[in-house]
Structure 1
């Protein structure tokens, strides 16, 4: 854990007011959302957005997600096609990000969009995040609050362990309920492309859009979470393991798999998704403390939220 720690805030002690004030001053604040903790900054402030990339060690070509509190705010920044509006009305606020064409005069820092003519936007459902956004009154850029490429944070402690005082404050609202990042879609007349698997499963989306066009690892990064290697512990990860290697920390999908750790007691994918990053943090710490050479993970069903879990695990296991 870094020696120097950020300021810890809680909502009950004016934490929302303090967080909004820090954002207005151009500081970085880690905010809870239903997916993961986000490293938030004023999306209109070039210096504040540059601090996000510096704090995370994030490549500048990887765009950021803008968080807003209402669809009317979205309409000031980006174009909402009929399909995009239908998706927004169905799933916002929630674990869905839409990549939309920018409007002239949008006012966002070019760092947010990585110089592209589109922007990724989400309306989070977490009440604490929404309270901060309401108090702040503008667009907030917020990637996951962790060093780039490492395991995403689902608790305030994860943020402090990864970033220390590179973030001014952490607003602690307990563990994140969804536990994996938002699903990212790019709606268009030619069809809706899936740019990142996430906390909103395909089965919920496709009745509205028809079959999604999967474009999760393109040659050109268009949205967060598309890098081949991401979400990685400090030791190698092996997938679809029989969990028979005692030299590795063994992670079961269910308790019945017999691992050192498990994602779900009974095989519930919602529970497994919520636990994924916390379990990976624990497995990484166990590997380092016990001098284990790797993390082995049992198979996870490739359906519903299992697709998002497997997407994160495949990227964590990539060379």
Structure 2
């Protein structure tokens, strides 16, 4: 017997209310954020969070991010600090996740944190996400809404392609503007730590903090999403920093050049980040190896290259 199709909702108030009720009932709802589409469950319900791991095929040792509608609400779940106040004031709502120690009375499912005593938390900027979080009035655990390890979704169609029939509903409100997942900063110790580069350039964070971010060592244990070596993977292989693609390869370009798809003809890293996963999805449907032109390792280029290295890693 085939699974029922996933319900497609709009971002209209009535559908947002339906989506919130669906989350309250312990079911899964995908929804847009400014970064990528997230696969949401009520972060206080063990069975609902467990269903995220099952739907995605995600390993349970890989923690999730809790999405909250305000910085004030976030402080109900984590131990706040001065650095968190500075960063939240500067960048929330927005593509920044803060990892902080859990409060004793947090009420978050231990499946969200993968048993750790810290929680990744953020306030998204997307209007539909904010409306859904306000309607639920509670934390939503939400990794990217795709099968684990595959290309992240930046449209509702990407979610349907990967998860149709496995989740209850999708809130469709068009493509995501940022296009790569949030930057994650660890604040569980006295020294802020960059746990994952993302949609907010680390240089901007360092300006607010007044000092450089410590870099995570690749051998450190998993403390946040997006740290698995192989991730964001198309079906065929990916080759990076290519200036002369092979005949059998599809070429993903950057800057003025001949290619199959171009992240940004003008060399704009913000445009490239927004197009990255969408272009990988398009090229992936052709099932040929993908060659990628060099991307500068500055600003949002750090996040783009991070995703591409994980896409190209051995599986």
> TM-score over 0.5 for the alignment?
yes
- After TM superposition, the structure 1 = structure 2 runs for residues 222-301 of structure 1, keeping only pairs within 5 Å, are 222-254=223-255, 256-286=256-286, 288=287, 292=288, 294-301=289-296
Q: Deviations over 1:139-171 (max 9, x none)?
A: 110000000110000000000001111111110
Q: Secondary structure in 1 aligned to 2:254?
A: strand
Does the 8 Å CA contact 1:218/1:226 hold for their aligned counterparts? no
- Whole-angstrom distance in 2 between the partners of 1:218 and 1:27: 35
RMSD of Structure 2 on Structure 1 (CA): 1.4
- Whole-angstrom distance in 1 between the partners of 2:190 and 2:26: 39
Q: Where do 5+ consecutive residues of structure 1 fail to align? A: none
Does the 8 Å CA contact 2:6/2:169 hold for their aligned counterparts? yes
Match of 1:303 among 294, 298, 303: 298
| Offset of residue 189 of structure 1 | 5.5
Does the 8 Å CA contact 1:195/1:217 hold for their aligned counterparts? no
Does the 8 Å CA contact 1:239/1:314 hold for their aligned counterparts? yes
- After TM superposition, the structure 1 = structure 2 runs for residues 80-229 of structure 1, keeping only pairs within 5 Å, are 80-187=80-187, 190-209=190-209, 210-215=211-216, 217-229=218-230
| Offset of residue 234 of structure 1 | 0.6
- Whole-angstrom distance in 1 between the partners of 2:190 and 2:45: 34
Does the 8 Å CA contact 1:83/1:188 hold for their aligned counterparts? no
Distance 1:161 1:3, change over 3 A: farther
Distance 1:161 1:269, change over 3 A: same
- Whole-angstrom distance in 1 between the partners of 2:180 and 2:200: 10
TM-score normalized with structure 2 length: 0.96
TM-score normalized with structure 1 length: 0.95
Runs of 4+ more than 2 Å apart: 2-5, 187-190, 216-219
Match of 2:312 among 299, 302, 317: 317
Does the 8 Å CA contact 1:194/1:216 hold for their aligned counterparts? no
Range moving further from structure 2, 36-45 or 181-190: 181-190
User: 2:72 corresponds to which residue?
Assistant: 72
- Whole-angstrom distance in 2 between the partners of 1:150 and 1:244: 23
| Offset of residue 188 of structure 1 | 5.1
| Offset of residue 3 of structure 1 | 8.5
Q: Secondary structure in 1 aligned to 2:263?
A: strand
| Offset of residue 89 of structure 1 | 1.1
Q: Secondary structure in 1 aligned to 2:39?
A: strand
Q: Secondary structure in 2 aligned to 1:264?
A: coil
| Offset of residue 216 of structure 1 | 6.1
- Whole-angstrom distance in 2 between the partners of 1:117 and 1:280: 35
- Count of residue pairs brought into register by the alignment: 312
Does the 8 Å CA contact 2:99/2:188 hold for their aligned counterparts? no
Range moving further from structure 2, 258-267 or 146-155: 258-267
Q: Where do 5+ consecutive residues of structure 2 fail to align? A: none
Q: Which structure is higher in helix share? A: 1
